[in-house]
Each structure stands twice: as C-alpha cells, then as structure tokens.
Chain A
Amino acid sequence: MLYQATHLTHYKYEEPVAQCLSETRITPRTFLRQRVLKTTLEVHPEPTVLERRKDYFGNHVATFSVFRTHDHFTASATSIVEVTPRPETILPDISWEEAQLDFAVHLDDISLQAYEFVFDSPFVTSSFELAQYAHPSFPAGRPLAEAVQELSHRINTEFLYKPKSTSIDMPLPEVLQQRRGVCQDFAHIMIGALRSLHLSARYVSGYLRSGADVQGAEASHAWVSVFIPGYGWLDLDPTNDVIPSDGHITLAWGRDYGDVAPVKGISLGGGKQTVEVEVRVTPVQAL
C-alpha cells in the first residue's frame, strides 16, 4: 500500500513565547516492510537552527530552535510511505519460558538487541501486579506468539478506550487499576506485563489508515512489538486487537513513549498552552 501521511501539531500560547527548543520524531523510518519515498518537515515560525539525526534506536529526529517571539507554533510532516503486508508465515511455537531463556542468554546480536527491551524504562516499570495481570495468558509451556495475542486481546476487552481519561504522567499501576486509557496506555500496560515476565517488548508509534472502524486514527497511534525468537519482531495493537499489517504506518520505536514522543519541547514563557494534533493518512496511487 502507498500512503500519504500528514501529521500536524499545533501549539497555541496564552502569553508570548520568547524562544523555544523542540525535538520531533514525525518522519517515518524505513525498514523491512516499509519504505519512505518522500518526506517533508515544516516548522512555523521559521526555526533558526534545524538539525536532523538518527537516535539510539535508529529513529529520525529533527531538533530545532525558534528565537523570535511567537504565540503559536506548528510542526507538520508529510510523507509518502509504502507499506507491504505482513507475510502470512506461521509463527514459531517457541514457548514463552524458552523465549525468556533465549533473552537471558542472548547468543546472537539479534537477541542481544531484543534483550535491551526486557529492562525497565522511565515510563514502564515492571511490577508484581503487572506479572499477575499477564499470568492467565501465560500457562506453562504455551507458545509465546499465542500468549501475546491473547494478552493483547485481553487488554483490548478488559480496558476501556477512553480519550482524556489518563495523562502520560500517570503511573502504570494506576492505569492498571482504573482499566481505562488511550492507545499509549494500552501499549504501556502490555509492554509492562511482558517485561514483568522478563520478555522483550518495545513501543511503536505510528499512524493508522483513516476511515476504517478503528480507534486512534485521528491522532498518532501507538502499539507494541514483541520479540519472538526464531521469528523476529511481531507487532500487536492491543487498542484495536489486531496484528498490524499494511494498515499501520510506523514512525519510530523505543522502550516507551518517552523515547519516541512525536513532539517534545521547552518554551520560555507562554503561560497556558493548548495543543491540537491532526493526522491524515490517505491511500495514494503509485507516484
């Protein structure tokens, strides 16, 4: 599938901002199943310095500063992305305990890479409660691929998708207790549950094809990727209870939201601020 994805973030300030610094991850990355054919990034007001680099996880980062007084700020990225469907291969039946051991031993570089995502990160701390939550889906000897699909399904049914019911600073145990949230929370819960079992999971930010009957298409979306030894990374979207294929466009991945937040920034002054995000993903014909 070929898409045009537009991601617009707009900040409005009550008081003038003398200067701001910002870091964005709104340019999709290229990897096995995804190719970025064209991409542009526009910032308003015109930034003084704009720099691009790749971060530790290989995501595209743009850093910039604005040094003139402004009362609104817009960052918008437009990309043409080609996504190929997930191949219909049969998932390996390695049990979750064997997988656990595989990470712990990490004999090759691939599993060493996966091992990094077994550990706690600033937004996702493993806990006894999360392990307990995961437990029913992880009976002894069950294949990991099967277990994680069920976990994703359970989160989808047992948690209520409710915009504005959480903030990103809400500690995971609280989200677990109140059983509601948005896609970021669903992803964090699932990652936390897996890490509490010493399994490897990472956070993926991206977009959904609009129009379909899915949650989270109006803004940027988030889901989970689980490492299955012998197969590789398997994406799972607990918010929509699907295995992402060519309807999901990947922006960036990391340990949690903090590693891949689409727009971060610090402003000098500004007072109260409001933020609006607009994401539009439309299929396009070949260029």
Chain B
Amino acid sequence: MNETKVGAKTEKMEWQYQPTSTHWDEAIRPSGMPRHHWRKLYTSIGRMGFAQLTRRWQTGQHLIQTNGITYNVYGDPQGKERPWSLDPIPLVMDGQEWAKLEQAISQRATLMNHMLGDLYGAQRLIHQRQLPAALLFGNPNFLRTCHGIEPAKGVFLHTYAADLARSPDGKWWVISDRTQAPSGMGYALENRLVSARMLPSAFGQCHVRPLNRFFEQYRESLLNLAPNRDNPRVVLLTPGPNNETYFEQSFLARQWGVPLVEGADLTVRDNRVFLKTLSGLEPVDMVLRRMDDSFCDPLELRGDSLLGIPGLTQAVRSGNVAVSNALGSGLMESPGYMAFLPSLCRQWLGEELKLPSVATWWCGERATRRFVTANLDGLVIKPTFPRLGHHPEFPAYMDSAAKQVLLRRIEADPEQFLAQEQVALSTVPVCTDSGLTPRHVVLRVFAVWDGQSYSVMPGGLTRVSIEANSPVVTMQLGGGSKDTWVLGDDAESSMPSDGGRTRTYAPRGAADLPSRVADNLFWLGRYGERVEAGVRMVRALLPGLSSEEDFGHTATIQSAVQLLTGLNYLPEGLDKTSISQQRWHVGRLLSGMVYDPSRSSSIGWSLKNLRRAAWPVKEWLSQDTWRVLQQLETEFSVTAPVHHELRLVAEMNLLDRVIVTLSAFSGLVMENTVRCNGWHFLDIGRRLERALQTADLLLTSLVQSPFDIEPSMDTLLQIADSSITYRTRYFTEVKVEFILQLLMCDESNPRSVGFQLATLVQHLRSMPANLQQQGSADSQDEEHLPLLLAEKIQIMVQQAVLEDLAARDSDGNLAALEELLRTLKGNLFDLSALLTAHHFSHVPISRFKPSF
C-alpha cells in the first residue's frame, strides 16, 4: 500500500543516497539531482521503493546461485568458490560519452598492437630511443623465444581490456591495461542476464545497448584469425578449475560452443596442435588461452611449468595454429609504457591519444625519479613489471622509517619501480543492508579485433570497492560488481533480443569430448556407486547393533561380523568372541565408516574421491547435479554424537537422508545428462562398480560363510536392495541357487551382476566404431578391446549352471562358485584397466634431466 502511494508522487521521490562531495558521483549531481542519463533508472527505482528493490535483489542473488556464477579465491586449494557478487543498480553510461570512450579504447588497442609488433620484431622503438630499453629488457614478460614470430594477420592483441576510473573533474583515465588474457567479459554478460531480469521495465525504458553482437563478433574473429582451414576448430585453454575465473571460462566456452580444455588435453605433432578426444586426435586451429603465456609451453617457455602444451611455440612459429592473445602479449601490461603512449600515438597514428593514462612516473629515468622522491606522499608506488604477490604501496600511510626503506629500494633498483598519481575514484550508489551508499568504481572495458580495427563491447564489467573509503577495487578482496548500461537509441536496443541471451552454439559433440573428461566421468560413476554401496551396507548392518532382540528380517550381529570379516574390514577370529565384544567392534567400525573420511573403506573417503572426480568436469554436470553433490558433502560433514545410542539414531537418520540424496544424484545423472559419450562413460563406471560390489557381496556372504546361510542372507538381500523381489518370487525359502539367480544372472534385476554386464555391453556397442579401435598403436589386438572382454564376461555369467554352482563339494564348500566369482572379479578389474588404457591417455609428461 505504502509503495503505491510513493509511486503516485514519482517525480518527488528521492533516493536516500548521499554521495561525498570530494568525488565525482556517477548518478547524482552535486545539486542532489540525478544526472541526465540516470533519470529513467532513478525514477524507475524510486517508484519501486527500497523494499521492492531489495526483493528484486534477492531474486537476482537466487539467479546467480542457480546459474552457478562463482569466483574462486586464490590460496584456497579446496576451491572455495564465492558466489558472484552483483549489485542490483547498474552503472548507467551516457551514449555520447560512451561513443568517445569506444573510439579511445579502440585507438589504444591499435597502438598497443603496433607496439607489440615492433618489440617482437624490428625493435625500432628501442633503437631509435623512443622507449627506454630497460622497459623491454627488464620486462620478465618479454618472451625472447617468441621474438620474430609473426602472428596471423599481424594481430598480437586479439582481445584487449582496460580498467577505467573517473576523477573528481569528471574525466576518465586508463588505470591499467590488460593484454595477457583479459578476464571479465563473461561475468559482464552474466551480469546483464541477471540485471535485465531484475529490472525489466527500467531496462526496456532505458534502451540499453545489447551485448550479443559483440559476442558474435568475438566468436567470428576467433574463426577468422585461425590459419589454414575452412572449418577451423577453436578451443578455450584453461589453467584448470582452481583458477579464479574458471566459471567464466566454462561459461564462455559454452557460449561459443568451443571445448574447454586443459593443457594435457592438447598435444603437438608435426608442428600441429591436436585435441585428444575419445575418437582420436582432432586438429586445433585456434587456441584462446586463459593461461599466462609463460605457462603455455614447458619446452620453450617456463621450464618449471607442466601446465601447458609442449611444442606449442614451434607450432605457432610454423604458422599452423593461432593463439589469442599471441604468446608474449603480456609484455604490455607494464604501466611503465603509459608515459610513452601520447608521443607514439602521434607518431604512428597521426592523432592525439584520446584517453589519458593515469599520470605515471617511471623511476628508471633520473629526472622523473627525482620528482617521485620529492613527492612521495601524493603517489602510489608500484612495481614496473607487475607480478603476483607485489602490491601497490601507499607512502602517504607510511611512517618515516618505512619511507626511507622504500626510497632505498627505489635507489637500488630504479627500473623496477614506478609511481602513479592516486585517482580519487568516482562513486556510484550501491545497495547495502543500510540502504544506498556510495562506493568507488572501476570500469573494465573490452575490445576485440574485428578484422579491420577493434570493436568495443557496449558495456563492461563495473567493479565496486568493498568499503566506501577503500581505494582498492578487486574481486579477489571481496568487492562487488554491477551491470553496465550503455544508453543507445530505440532502433538498436530492444528488450527481447538481449537480456544477455545471445546465440549459443552447439559443440561438435562426441568428437570434442576430451579423453580427460571421459576419464573423470568414468570415476565419477564409480565413486558415486561406491558411496551408495557403502551407505546401503552400513544401513543394513546398523539395526543389528541395537540391544533388543531381532525382529523379523534385521541382520543379526553374527552375520554382520561374518560379512565385515569377509570384506577384510574386521580381523579374523572375532566371531569366536562374546556377543558384546562383537557388538562393540562392529559399532566402532560402522561409526568410522560413516564419520571418518580418513579410512579408505569409509563413505567419506569415497565421497572425497567423488568430489575430486567431479570438480574438473563441473561444466559437464547440470547445476542441480552439482548442488546434490554439495548437499551430500554437507550431510556428511557433521560430527558424531558421543553417546553411543544417540549415535546409532543419528547414523540411521543420516543414512536414510543420504540414500534419498543419492537417488537424486543418480536420477539427475540419468535424466539430465545428454546421452553423449561422456554419459556413456559415467554409466559404464557405475555399472562396473556395482557389478564388482555385488560380486564381492556374493563372495563374502555365500562362499565364505558357514553352512547355514540363512542369517546372512537377509543382510545380503537388504544390502542389494532385493529383499522384496526375493520374497515375491521365492517366499521364505532360502537357497543359494535362488539368490544367484536373482543377484547374479537375472538381467532384469537392476541390482544383479547380469544386468550391469548387459548394460556395459550395450554402452560399449554404442560407441562409434573408431572409438572402439582406438588405443595405443601397438595393441590394436582385437582381444584387447573392452567390448570383447565385456561380452566374454557376460557370456560367462549367462552360461553359468546354477545347480552346479550351488552344490557343495565333499568338504561342504562352494568351490565352483568361488572360482567363478573370483574370475568374475578379476575380469572386471581387467575391464576397468582396459578402458583406462584404451580411452584415457594418462601418461604423465616429464622434462629431460638437465644435461651439460
């Protein structure tokens, strides 16, 4: 009610927002009125009211979670992903002002590309003394091995990004250049997707320029720069799932329909780059890298990195593959070059530099050094060549002793330091718990080579500081982000065409599935099944621990001891001890299986491995699947109650919950995964593991138990989740033969070995023919094909004569059954090894020892 009243007096409605007078505010003029280009948004949000905005924001947060938009924080190897932080109020940019920025960014990218061409070629800039040689020779990002390599069409810089800041007089400045592997454009697109949904009417009224054309252009330019072929294959090279912007990398790969690959997925042969897929080696023409160039080739670049692709540099040199940005482009990220841009721009492009860089003084020159030492307090001191772990220093906040130390360091190594003016960053309203407050803003803008010049994304990634008076703006330290609305005219922007939805491209399918991914999916299947088997077993055995007499079909403590001894979980001879002793041992073991992830037999252990297999293939799993996996982990991270009876109840409850979560996992995998080769491998893993688990169970409960199998049979059937089927079919009669029929041979029982084998054979048959014959050249031997082995095992089980197997020999043993089950197990292990050898090439690379 309240809101509608406010809405009625829209024009008078004011934001409860008070920017500081010392900084430029993006939204509000010093008079307190909104800036012209902010009016529509101002009105729209004003009409909505703060309460409604907060609700919208919550929806936005929810969208971020469902889309799985995350950002990894470094120094946290277990992959602490932080949900992406997005503020509901976008940064609005005036269309005319933007047009100027666009030209300026395009000009700067052109200039930087020229500089790269010169420094990796004739080096006239150095010989003619237009650029201090120290800025090249001392730059660790100057990759000498890349000198003389001419990239396709002379484009070193395919993607360029710049961080912009606005000073109190309203002028924009470039505060840093990104030329290595600029990140952020994927987050910008995700921000658009969310913000357009949060504020649909404002978005429509403001005629926000759409982003989709830029992303189309980007994809096209990748194809155009690829050498040689008509239908080039592009891959996106990621450093791996622990990289801070891994989410963005997988998002962009999906957006453009290109495979997301790690270094080990690629190989170089005959100076050509290939993707190792399940169907063999597929040529790659363009590598869009999100890895620093020095890591890209352990042979010619950094020898201590095994992340990259040995031989990549030589392949590039031969002109067989393009890399974006060209190897060596990281050079231009040094702020040391900034001071020289205006004169170079005049000389090369015959025009003035359209957008100034933040004032920069490189200490390698005597005159500027003198200026820096005399004006220390007003400056920020930075390393000339940025590297990880080197942070800007603020002399204004130092005591005189610290300043002296800094000055001495500068004198000792002047080329390594530069000073920059500290821009008083503009502010922008940010939605916080206490209402709208001003935060500092840095805008990252992106440009891509479009064939003739550089096209600039009409938008960008706006980042805001975490606190109102913090001068540092970085996502690493927990800052937030905003969508960037560039106002256009009615013609260009239209709501339905954008909202972050751009055309997506289907990947090439099977041929693009890297073997590494298939391998992880296979193990994901195996560990998922192993977790489930563990849960079922503990759940079937736990009731035997309660001190009351057994009712009906619950397991007795003796059969639990027998089973666990047979599985080697308990030492031999425990069955000779007293019942209470046995109970104590079993209780302790089962508790450990539930709560102690350090035991390799525990559920927690399998769960850890499940996560380890899932993490690198995250983008192949649906968001829901991923969430279920996370829920499993949370469920198991509780500590056990101390009191043993409480613990029993807690364990029972936990396992009941977990079994449901696990079914959700299998259901999602079955229902939500495309039936591609990847899915086949996941299910092959599951089936193989389940066949193994069931074989093991039969072996321990039938073969290794004493004459009377009746007590352990209940346990067996419960673990195998087949009690009801058994009772329906065979009533209460307990016979080894029946059990074997149900759990081993019956191909219609989803829990039987036979069912798993039939499914395995089906999967292997459905693989493309060339896939079945892959493998190392030396072992093209037909006998070594996984399909043939699987068929052999299946026939062995189908042809088993149950009466013979169930017949005891003169010693009262089931020797024939034991032999069959042991052969079965052995064959299944062989099948797993064969699959690995065939489809997943795992050979680690190593470096030659140094020789002298």
Given A11-B848, A265-B299, A275-B848; A116-B270 close (CB under 8 Å): no
A273 to B133, Cβ gap below 8 A? Answer: no
B707 at the interface (CB under 8 A from A): no
Q: How far apart are the CA atoms of A161 and B302 in the complex, in Å?
A: 29
A284 at the interface (CB under 8 A from B): no
B845 at the interface (CB under 8 A from A): yes
A18 to B843, Cβ gap below 8 A? Answer: yes
B126 to A184, Cβ gap below 8 A? Answer: no
Given A21-B311, A268-B845, A269-B843; A56-B851 close (CB under 8 Å): no
Q: A57, A63, A106, A267: which contacts B133 (Cβ < 8 A)? A: A106
Within 8 A of B (CB), among A85-125: 106, 109, 112, 115-116, 118-120, 122
B300 at the interface (CB under 8 A from A): yes
Given A49-B270, A109-B127; A266-B852 close (CB under 8 Å): no
Q: Can you list 29 A-B pairs, Cβ within 8 angstroms, ordered by A?
A: A11-B848, A11-B849, A18-B776, A49-B270, A55-B145, A56-B147, A56-B148, A109-B127, A112-B127, A115-B133, A116-B133, A116-B137, A119-B134, A122-B302, A167-B850, A222-B852, A257-B850, A258-B303, A261-B851, A262-B851, A264-B299, A264-B303, A265-B848, A266-B299, A266-B310, A266-B848, A267-B845, A269-B846, A270-B846
Q: Shortest beta-carbon distance, A12 to chain B, in Å? A: 11
B144 at the interface (CB under 8 A from A): yes
Within 8 A of A (CB), among B270-313: 270-271, 298-300, 302-304, 310-311
B269 at the interface (CB under 8 A from A): yes
Within 8 A of A (CB), among B814-852: 843-852
Q: How far apart are the CA atoms of A222 and B851 in the complex, in Å?
A: 12
Within 8 A of A (CB), among B656-689: none
Annotate B311-337 by CB proximity to A: 1 below 8 A, 0 otherwise.
Answer: 100100110000000000000000000
Count, chain A residues at interface, CB 8 A: 55
B511 at the interface (CB under 8 A from A): no
Specify which chain B residues have a CB less than 8 angstroms from the CB of A259 in the assembled complex.
144
Given A65-B270, A112-B133, A184-B852; A267-B846 close (CB under 8 Å): yes
Annotate A246-278 by CB proximity to B: 1 below 8 A, 0 otherwise.
Answer: 000000000001110111111111100111010
A37 at the interface (CB under 8 A from B): no
B848 to A22, Cβ gap below 8 A? Answer: yes
Give me 15 other A-B pairs in contact (C-beta within 8 A), A23-B299, A120-B140, A275-B848 excluded.
A21-B268, A63-B314, A65-B270, A112-B127, A115-B133, A116-B137, A219-B852, A220-B852, A261-B850, A264-B303, A265-B299, A266-B310, A273-B848, A275-B849, A275-B851
Q: Shortest beta-carbon distance, B203 to chain A, in Å? A: 51
A48 at the interface (CB under 8 A from B): yes
Q: How far apart are the CA atoms of A269 and B846 in the complex, in Å?
A: 7
Q: Shortest beta-carbon distance, A194 to chain B, in Å? A: 15
Within 8 A of B (CB), among A34-56: 48-49, 51, 53, 55-56
Annotate A192-207 by CB proximity to B: 1 below 8 A, 0 otherwise.
Answer: 0000000000000000
A67 at the interface (CB under 8 A from B): yes
Within 8 A of A (CB), among B586-635: none
Q: How far apart are the CA atoms of A121 and B53 in the complex, in Å?
A: 55
Specify which chain A residues have a CB less than 8 angstroms from the CB of B706 in the assembled complex.
none
A9 to B299, Cβ gap below 8 A? Answer: no
A264 to B314, Cβ gap below 8 A? Answer: no
B145 to A262, Cβ gap below 8 A? Answer: no
Most chain A C-beta atoms within 10 Å of own C-beta, residue among B134, B269, B303, B310: B310
B783 at the interface (CB under 8 A from A): no
Specify which chain B residues have a CB less than 8 angstroms from the CB of A23 in the assembled complex.
299-300
A9 to B851, Cβ gap below 8 A? Answer: yes
Most chain A C-beta atoms within 10 Å of own C-beta, residue among B298, B845, B847: B845
B571 at the interface (CB under 8 A from A): no
A282 at the interface (CB under 8 A from B): no
Q: How far apart are the CA atoms of A269 and B190 in the complex, in Å?
A: 41
A65 to B846, Cβ gap below 8 A? Answer: no
Given A49-B271, A115-B133; A168-B850 close (CB under 8 Å): yes
Q: How far apart are the CA atoms of A264 and B311 in the complex, in Å?
A: 12
A69 at the interface (CB under 8 A from B): yes
B641 at the interface (CB under 8 A from A): no
Q: How far apart are the CA atoms of A63 and B318 in the complex, in Å?
A: 12
Q: Shortest beta-carbon distance, B135 to chain A, in Å? A: 11
Q: How far apart are the CA atoms of A40 and B317 in the complex, in Å?
A: 24
Q: B138, B843, B851: which contacts A119 (Cβ < 8 A)? A: B138
Specify which chain B residues have a CB less than 8 angstroms from the CB of A115 in the assembled complex.
133-134, 137
9 interchain residue pairs of minimum CB distance: A265-B848, A266-B310, A56-B144, A269-B843, A119-B138, A116-B137, A168-B850, A219-B852, A275-B849
Q: Shortest beta-carbon distance, A162 to chain B, in Å? A: 14
User: Which chain A residues have a beta carbon within 8 Å of chain B's beta carbons?
Assistant: 9, 11, 18-23, 48-49, 51, 53, 55-57, 63, 65, 67, 69, 106, 109, 112, 115-116, 118-120, 122, 128, 167-169, 182-184, 219-220, 222, 257-259, 261-270, 273-275, 277
Q: How far apart are the CA atoms of A120 and B140 in the complex, in Å?
A: 9
Q: Which residue of B lies closest to A169 (CB)?
A: B304
B849 to A119, Cβ gap below 8 A? Answer: no
Q: Which residue of A lies closest to B412 (CB)?
A: A128
Q: How far apart are the CA atoms of A268 and B266 in the complex, in Å?
A: 13
B299 to A48, Cβ gap below 8 A? Answer: no
Q: How far apart are the CA atoms of A168 and B268 in the complex, in Å?
A: 27
Specify which chain A residues have a CB less than 8 angstroms from the CB of B847 in the assembled complex.
264-267
B778 at the interface (CB under 8 A from A): yes
A69 to B144, Cβ gap below 8 A? Answer: no
Given A220-B852, A266-B848, A267-B846; A21-B299 close (CB under 8 Å): yes
Q: How far apart are the CA atoms of A268 and B300 in the complex, in Å?
A: 16
B138 to A120, Cβ gap below 8 A? Answer: yes
Q: Which residue of A lies closest to B415 (CB)?
A: A119
Q: Which residue of A lies closest to B318 (CB)?
A: A51
Specify which chain B residues have a CB less than 8 angstroms from the CB of A11 in the assembled complex.
848-849
Q: B148, B843, B849: which contacts A273 (Cβ < 8 A)? A: B849
Q: Shortest beta-carbon distance, A158 to chain B, in Å? A: 22
Q: How far apart are the CA atoms of A49 and B147 in the complex, in Å?
A: 22
Given A48-B270, A112-B126, A118-B137; A277-B851 close (CB under 8 Å): yes
Q: How far apart are the CA atoms of A152 and B245 in the complex, in Å?
A: 49
Specify which chain A residues have a CB less than 8 angstroms from the CB of B137 in the assembled complex.
115-116, 118-119
Specify which chain A residues have a CB less than 8 angstroms from the CB of B303 in the assembled complex.
258, 264
Q: Which residue of A lies closest to B364 (CB)?
A: A104
A268 to B843, Cβ gap below 8 A? Answer: yes
Q: How far apart are the CA atoms of A11 and B846 in the complex, in Å?
A: 13
Q: Shortest beta-carbon distance, A13 to chain B, in Å? A: 9
B851 to A266, Cβ gap below 8 A? Answer: no
Q: Shortest beta-carbon distance, A105 to chain B, in Å? A: 10
A267 to B848, Cβ gap below 8 A? Answer: yes
Q: Which residue of B lies closest to A118 (CB)?
A: B137
Specify which chain A residues have a CB less than 8 angstroms from the CB of B138 in the assembled complex.
119-120
Annotate B100-137 by CB proximity to A: 1 below 8 A, 0 otherwise.
Answer: 00000000000000000000000000110000011001
Specify which chain B residues have a CB less than 8 angstroms from the CB of A258 in the assembled complex.
303
Specify which chain A residues have a CB less than 8 angstroms from the CB of B299 in the assembled complex.
21-23, 264-266
Q: How far apart are the CA atoms of A18 and B269 in the complex, in Å?
A: 12
Q: How far apart are the CA atoms of A112 and B136 in the complex, in Å?
A: 12
Given A56-B147, A258-B303, A268-B845; A51-B314 close (CB under 8 Å): yes
Q: Shortest beta-carbon distance, A95 to chain B, in Å? A: 20
